[in-house]
Structure 1
Amino acid sequence: MNKYKYLISILALTLGLGAAQAEDFNLDALIAAARSEPPLTVYDSTGKITEMADAFAAKYGLQATGTKTKATAQLETIIREVQSGNVQTDVSFIADVPAAMGQLLPDGFAESWVPPDLVEDIAPEARDPLLIVSSPNILAYNTAIFDSCPITNIWQLTEPEWKGKVSMQDPLGKPSYTDWFNQMRSHADDRIAAAYEAQYGKKLETEHASATEAFVAALAANGPLLTDSDSAAAEAVAAPGQTEPFVGLVSAAKFRDNEGAAFTLGLCADVDPIIGFSNATVGLIVKGTDSPNAARLFMHYAMTAEGIAPQAEDGKVSSNRSVALPDDEPSGVADHLGEVLAYDPSTGMSDWETRQDWQDFWRLNYAR
């Protein structure tokens, strides 16, 4: 690119135009524009954001602060700051796509931006809004008790053998679980029905409106052990000295406790029709930020292997398909991503609008 085009790119970026609106996207121009802006503030629900922000600042010669903050707090903060005209948050990584789609994007509190030079590597379903990573929540078993996963079909979790022996976070307190229910009904209901037929040799006959609802009702009625954290769910499965034969639904990140806390978690592979689900994190730039170019640069950085490395170590999967999980990622989920129900934001608004319905449905069917 000649110097005139380079100056045009800087001007367009400095005026607050998206890089995709410039004549050509130029990373060097974006970096130059970012360096003229105030320090960047980034929030995420994982503590790894501190490491990411520090590495970003060192790489580009900028100032950036990463802070761990729950999704609900981020949502409230962004709305309050934009409404008051006192925006302090520049970039927000929110591990609650439906809430972001239902509360922030429609009213213009924040915007999604996809790096133009990386767009072809980003899965189409992860571009609008931009999903930074997906966090697999996968079925796990205790390798000290079982030689292999003791189930081969998710409908087995509804059988008497597993009554009270499935650990998972409480759907009444963890929206990603009600989102999972709705995602199954929206995108995998036929597979849930087929898995029932494969397990029992007959077609599913149910009073419920979908196979997913029948499964969720049966799971709830089987009295799973409900926890307030992934850590507690993983502990029930594979803490040292555990003798109860639990199966659990836990984050891939918990598998690092196999080394750190002497857990014995094993991934349940080849369970029909899925081994779990992914909870996605959406990346947003806050309306009114005084560092729009630094914000875009951070989004670009997070979509690279270098930028997302601290989260990839925990089994979080980049939406950039050219970025692989590290070979030593402890869960081994990289070899089984096709068995995980990937989050599809095309029904994100439905996930948002039906949360209360699914919570009520779970409450009505849950039996201790």
Structure 2
Amino acid sequence: MKRTMIGGMSRVLCASALAATLASAARADEPFDLDGLIAAAKKEKPITVYDSTGKIVEMAKNFARKYDLSAEGSKVKASAQLEMIIREARANNIQGDVSIVSDAPAAVAQLIPQGFAESWLPPDLASKIPAEYQDPLTVVTSANVWAYNTQIFDKCPVTNIWELTEPKWKGKVAMQDPLGKASYVDWFNQMAKHGDDKVAQAYREQYGKDLKTGAESATAAWVKALAANAPLLTDADAAAADAVGAPGQSEPFMGLISSAKFRDNADQGMKLGLCKDLKPWVGWLYPGVGLITKGTDSPNAAKLFIHYIMTEEGIAPQAIDGKMSTNKDVGLPADEPSGIGKVLDQLLPYAMTTSLDDWDARETWQDFWRVNYQK
């Protein structure tokens, strides 16, 4: 989705959103009656929930069964969610009542400040959710990780992300196209803002000398080198995962994929392995923001759904895919197939505090990638 607001306007609107959020935080201190919320929800119309994962269908069914309500989950890509929420609001024809948006910068820059949607923090769970994930409410953080083919390699064939820019891996790295997947350019910006020193250190560790670059940052130098090394760009994680983990290959790719794709090892006989101990990170996290659309006919049912998915029971269908609840009391299942639970300290976390900076920098990073990419 192309950005439609200049950075200055985004910041003005977000300032107004902050005032509204502070009011919401104040309400979070009020007594909370879950039984009362359930009773109120039962008087309302059925709800529809948007999310970019198909697991939302199962989650909505589980929710409806638990509370004897009607709810439908709909898998919708993040960019399409944004368009649908805005279009439905302008037409005064709300179809989606809850949205789990994996595009946090757009939520912060557009949906909330322009009044298309709002965040609601379950008061009884507030103490369990870190402050940085409360405003707006981040439901889950999902991981994209570096993977390799376990049928070919006994262990990850690279130990440092700078190796992926070398001739040996030219044309042999698979990942989603940053021009079509906004979270990838947000990742570039998050690296530059919060981990640039580690990217530079990884270069020193790999080559025994300091990075000399005309780029603005070590991150920019790495992104430029990766783009110039002709990575295979896909339009979905499934294609990248196939390039990496399909059995029977002689020269498989390295790849950057969602932790959810590791379930294909059991389901489809894939040979995906997590690149543990890769420097400086084995992967990165991005948030899923839970929003309630303004004008919904079922505000209590929408709140109840938000409350439900912040519990272990509610998020379980996504947790098995390595998606981590921001509720500190909820962990990953022991049988989660990717194994990221053991390397959480090796993932670049997403800083919600700079999500608006990610929004402002998107076009710059996209242009940078476009200029440097070589097929």
Normalising TM by the smaller chain, what interval? over 0.9
Across the two proteins, how many residue pairs are aligned to each other? 352
Matches within 5 A, 1:178-197: 178-197=185-204
Q: CA deviation at 1:21?
A: 5.5
CA–CA distance in structure 1, aligned partners of residues 230 and 80 of structure 2: 31
Aligned to 1:226: 233
How far apart are residue 118 of structure 1 and its match? 1.1
Q: Which amino acid aligns with 2:97?
A: D
Shift of 1:312: 0.9
Long gaps (5+) in structure 1 = 1-16
**Corresponding residue SS for 2:74:** strand
1:359 is aligned with what amino acid? Q
Please name the residue that 1:130 is paired with: 137
Aligned pairs for 1:207-246 within 5 A? 207-246=214-253
Aligned CA-pair RMSD: 1.5
Contact 2:30 2:123 in 1 (8 A): no
Q: Take 2:247 and 2:282, find their aligned partners in 1: how far apart are those partners?
A: 24
CA distance in 1, matches of 2:30, 2:196: 45
User: Structure 1 residues 36, 89: closer, same or farther in 2, change over 3 A?
Assistant: same
8 A contact 1:19–1:25 mirrored in 2 = no
Is 2:96 the partner of 1:101? no
Percentage identity across paired residues of the two chains: 62
User: SS at the partner of 2:301?
Assistant: helix
**Cα deviation digits, residues 178-214 of structure 1 (max 9, x gap):** 1110110111111111111111121211101111101
Quote how far apart the aligned CAs of 1:84 are: 2.3
1:261 has 2:268 as partner = yes
C-alpha distance in structure 1 between counterparts of 2:347 and 2:138, whole Å:
16
Does 2:171 align with 1:164?
yes
CA contact (8 A) 2:227 2:372 kept: yes
Q: 1:18: Cα distance to partner? A: 9.0
2:255 paired residue among 248, 251, 259: 248
Secondary structure of 1:277 counterpart: strand
TM-score (norm 1): 0.92
Partner of 1:7: none
Look up the equivalent residue of 1:165 and give its one-letter code: K
Q: Following the alignment from structure 1 to structure 2, what is the Cα–Cα distance between the partners of residues 242 and 23?
A: 59
| Aligned counterpart, 1:81 | 88
Which of 308, 325, 328 is residue 321 of structure 1 equivalent to? 328
User: What is the CA deviation profile of residues 9-36 of structure 1, one whole-angstrom value per residue up to 9, with x for unaligned ones?
Assistant: xxxxxxxx99935741121121122122
The answer to whether the aligner puts 1:287 opposite 2:294 as a matched pair is yes
Q: Is 2:341 aligned against 1:334?
A: yes
Give distance in 1, aligned partners of 2:29 and 2:95.
Answer: 26
2:321 maps to amino acid: D
Task: For residue 271 of structure 1, report the CA deviation from its aligned partner.
Answer: 0.9
For 2:362, the equivalent position in structure 1 comes to 355
Which residue pairs with 1:60 in the alignment? 67
1:293-333 CA-to-partner distances (Å, cap 9, x unmatched) read 11111001001010000111111111112111111111111
Distance 1:247 1:88 in 2: 41
Task: Confirm or deny: 8 A CA contact 2:28 2:121 kept in the other structure.
Answer: no
Q: Deviations over 1:41-76 (max 9, x none)?
A: 211111111111111111112111111112222211
Match of 1:198 in 2: 205
Distance in 1, matches of 2:238 and 2:61, equals: 27
2:106 aligns to what SS in structure 1?
Answer: helix
Q: Is the 8 A contact 2:285 2:349 kept in 1?
A: yes
Paired with 1:102 and 1:243, the residues of 2 have a C-alpha distance of: 46
Structure 2 length as normaliser, TM-score? Answer: 0.91
Residue type at the aligned position of 1:175 = A
Long gaps (5+) in structure 2: 1-23
CA contact (8 A) 2:28 2:122 kept: no
Structure 2 vs 1, CA of residues 47 and 245 (structure 1 numbering), >3 Å: closer, same or farther? Answer: closer
Deviation at 1:245, TM superposition (A): 3.8
Contact map agreement 1:236 1:242 (CA 8 A) in 2: no
| 1:227-275 CA-partner distances (Å, limit 9, x unpaired) | 1111111111110111114211111111111111111110001111111
- Cα separation, 1, equivalents of 2:34 and 2:197: 44
